[in-house]
Structure 1
Amino acid sequence: MTQQQLVPLIAIAAVIPFVLLRNRKPRTLRPEFLWVVPLIVVAAISFGFWAMSMSSRSAPPTDPVSLLILAVGLALGAAFGWQRGKMTTIHKTPDGVLKAQASPIGLFIIIGVMVGRRALEPWLEAHAADWHINPLAILEAFMLFAAGMVVTQRIEMFIRARNIQHGGTDAHVEAER
């Protein structure tokens, strides 16, 4: 691996323990602000798409196979995001404050996607021509996976948080008991 590929992996490895320690305790959940992170992620990924299209060595992925790859990346991200949102435990304290505790499995999914993207990038670029696939489509599919995961996770959490706020229960937690 080159230094350019290794630096992000080292940064991820350094941050993981802090994120896991931070997620050990439930944190206050404010459903009215759950839209902020998806907005930032979608804006950042949109900017990334634009930047890649401006400086890319290959054409933007607009052929049918590339669009299918992008759609699959987004759909898989949405499915994993919904599941990740369901794995987040949400409860209401006696004083009416919502608390959420994320599952560490969700973090490992995100890390796996990031590491996979970095590890596969050189190989995909070298072999994409053999498969007649735009290498940019595969890399953008990873970004759409991340965007889909974040957006649908927050939607799922918002739906459950609103239900709990209005006197309902966290149905999936009740089913496990």
Structure 2
Amino acid sequence: MAASNHLGIWIAVTIVALVMLLRAREIGRERVLKLRWVWVVPVLVVSGIGFMLSRQHPDAAQIGGLALGAVLGLPLGWHRGKLTALRLDDASGALMMRPSAASMVLLMGLVAARQYTRFQMMDMPPSPWLDMASEALLGMAIGSVCAFRVELALRGRRLLDGL
């Protein structure tokens, strides 16, 4: 594999690690959840991954792996959403959320598994199975993020509606 591909993977690993460290600082801290903005993160994730895939020209196996991973990631995201505490602030009436450590560990595990798979692929001959597994892990992250945000939106709406 070319040195530029090695550099690209290391840049991606560095960016992911920085984002995860910044997100990990929020564990246990309560913050306001604005329901009108819950759709932004899934749109950004899907757009970013779509852009990345448009540059890679994935084959049918990779797209199948991505789709399968997205379906398998949905229950993980739902579970992440259930692990996140939501409440209404009595004083302000704002919807508050507190991300859980288990929720972050689930997401970090998916990202770490994909990066490890990509790293292992650097010095190996091309393998459609590894490509498919790598894309499936990426799909799981997509499904997880989308289901997580939908779960937060549904639970948040019920809290705000008083149910």
TM-score range, shorter chain: 0.7 to 0.9
- The change in CA–CA distance for 1:76 and 1:128 in structure 2 (over 3 A counts) is farther
Residue 40 of structure 1: how far off its partner (Å): 0.7
Q: Give me the TM-score of the superposition, normalised by structure 2.
A: 0.80
Checking the alignment, whether the CA contact within 8 Å between 1:49 and 1:140 is kept in structure 2 is no
Tell me the residue number matched to 2:36: 32
Question: Which structure 2 residue ranges, 5 or more long, are not aligned?
Answer: none
CA offsets 1:25-57 (integer angstroms, 9 cap, x no match): 21001111101111111110110110111xxxx
Tell me the residue number matched to 1:175: none
- The change in CA–CA distance for 1:45 and 1:17 in structure 2 (over 3 A counts) is closer
| Runs of 4 or more above 6 Å deviation | none
- The change in CA–CA distance for 1:70 and 1:16 in structure 2 (over 3 A counts) is closer
Select which of 68, 77, 89 maps to 1:81: 77
Checking the alignment, whether the CA contact within 8 Å between 2:27 and 2:98 is kept in structure 1 is yes
Tell me the residue number matched to 1:149: 144
* Rg comparison, structure with higher value: 1
**Residue 166 of structure 1 pairs with residue 161 of structure 2:** yes
Greater shift in the superposed pair: 111-120 or 8-17: 8-17
Alpha-carbon distance between aligned partners in 2 of 1:157 and 1:92, rounded to the nearest angstrom = 13
CA RMSD of the aligned region, Å? 2.6
Residue 122 of structure 1: how far off its partner (Å): 4.4
Alpha-carbon distance between aligned partners in 2 of 1:115 and 1:45, rounded to the nearest angstrom = 16
Identity between Structure 1 and Structure 2 (%): 25
Greater shift in the superposed pair: 34-43 or 119-128: 119-128
Checking the alignment, whether the CA contact within 8 Å between 1:77 and 1:147 is kept in structure 2 is yes
Tell me the residue number matched to 2:26: 22
Alpha-carbon distance between aligned partners in 1 of 2:11 and 2:43, rounded to the nearest angstrom = 27
Alpha-carbon distance between aligned partners in 1 of 2:47 and 2:15, rounded to the nearest angstrom = 23
Alpha-carbon distance between aligned partners in 1 of 2:10 and 2:27, rounded to the nearest angstrom = 26
